[in-house]
Amino acid sequence: MSAWENKILDAFISHYFASDSAQQISEEENRHLRLRTSILFPNFDNVHHDEKKSYLEAAEALERKGIIKLRWKTK
């Protein structure tokens, strides 16, 4: 796994245990955890193209593996 894949997974794990999901809320609410790029990678807009590409490729690789589901939001 790439460094970004590990960082994304670590963030999801931390987010899960810090969220209400860990407090036995409804099954429907447990189904999705949101992790925004703006929080995980706050300087995304200002970094070198190669670093952006590495991040996006890692996220897409995790989606292909069925670990995460990406949803793109426009401003």
Domain residue extents for the chain: 3-64
pTM (whole model) above 0.85: no
**What does the pLDDT read at residue 57?**
94
Tallying the residues shown for the chain, one arrives at 75
- The pLDDT assigned to 30 comes to 53
**Other CB atoms within 10 A of residue 75 CB:** 2
pLDDT tens string 2-22: 999 999 999 888 877 776 555
Three-class secondary structure of residue 21 per DSSP = helix
pLDDT of residue 12: 85
Q: Whole-angstrom Cα distance, residue 56 to residue 6?
A: 13
Confidence of residue 69 (pLDDT cuts 50, 70, 90): confident
